[in-house]
Structure 1
Amino acid sequence: MRPILVSSCLLGLKTRYDGTDNYSQAVVDFIKNNQLTPIPVCPEQLAGLSTPRPKCWFSIGDGDSVLDASGKLIDEHGEDLTSVFLHGARECLKIVEMTNCKHAILQQRSPSCGSQSIYLNEKLVQGVGITTAMLKKSGIKVFSDDNLPAKKT
């Protein structure tokens, strides 16, 4: 069975910022039907943030911008957490390398995991999270529960 990195909240683990999950039967079925081994991760927890934790969003740019040193991510109290989220992304990349993952399914709209949309100043916009940006830059194909591939990965 081939490994695939998966946002732990999509698998039913209560790792979201508010202590809940984003369980996705479609993701679980995709993993099972394609005989994949899920490698659950939560970049925020890997960075040392607690659960629950304050809401976070980009105040400038998105994940690609952060990797280019022009983006910024803050929490709802205005604290700059850019370096913390970068640390979580790096930890995920270490896991990808250890497990030889080539694909990931990550939670849409997350400041770490968003693959098509993120929050910029509390408004939903097109963009990618920090972990997604780092994984894509490293050649990992990233999907969300909104855009699972039709064919086997």
Structure 2
Amino acid sequence: MTRTDLKVCGPILVSACLLGIYCRYDGRCETDERVMALSKDHVLIPVCPEQLGGLPTPRSAVELLDGRAVTRDGADLTEAFERGVQQVLRVARLTGARAAVLQPRSPSCGRGIIYDGTFSGTRIEGDGALTQCLRAQEFLLLAPDELG
């Protein structure tokens, strides 16, 4: 999957932090110029499932463990993550989006590699909560490094 595959996808959901929106758990953004360049040819729809699920910015870091979204101190934020995923799906339906460019390693948006839930920095194979849902809905999913 590449930038070329996006030509037939219509609007594209994008992790808001990649577009310079300060919504990461630590209050920062991860502006990615490769993602920003997509705006020349595509309508980009910024989404942050964690914010859409009602979580504040900044917020405690979260990792996925046994299908649950938990903080280092054990707080279970799974319901907020599920709400956020449902809100992103609503945005996708309203806009006609069928593709997404997502923030790597995120417990919401990570694709292929996420943190293991121990807060040790260990990475494992897996998808974030939003990515799992979008994959099941057959969205075209890309990470910034796949854009060239």
Q: Please state which band the TM-score falls in when normalised by the shorter chain.
A: 0.7 to 0.9
Alignment correspondent of 1:66: none
Note if contact 1:108-1:146 (Cα within 8 Å) is conserved in structure 2.
Answer: no
Alignment correspondent of 1:25: 33
CA positional deviation for 1:146: 2.2
Gaps of 5+ in 2: 1-6
In the comparison of the two structures, how many residue pairs are matched?
137
The TM-score with structure 1 as length reference comes to 0.85
1:110 aligns with 2:116: no
Alignment correspondent of 1:79: 75
CA positional deviation for 1:147: 2.1
Change in CA separation of 1:116 and 1:146 when aligned onto 2, cut-off 3 Å:
farther
> Could you say what secondary structure the match of 2:146 adopts?
coil
1:83-107 superposed Cα distances (whole Å, 9 cap, x missing partner): 2111111110111011000100010
CA positional deviation for 1:115: 1.0
Alignment correspondent of 2:11: 3
Which one is further off, 50-59 or 23-32? 23-32
1:12-43 superposed Cα distances (whole Å, 9 cap, x missing partner): 010000000000001112342xx101000000
Q: Which runs of 4+ in 1 moved over 6 A?
A: none
Could you tell me how far apart the structure 1 residues matched to 2:65 and 2:46 are?
Answer: 28
Identity in percent: 39
Paired letter, 1:127: G
Aligned ranges for residues 138-149 of structure 1 at < 5 Å?
138-148=137-147
1:58 aligns with 2:86: no
The TM-score with structure 2 as length reference comes to 0.87
Gaps of 5+ in 1: 61-70
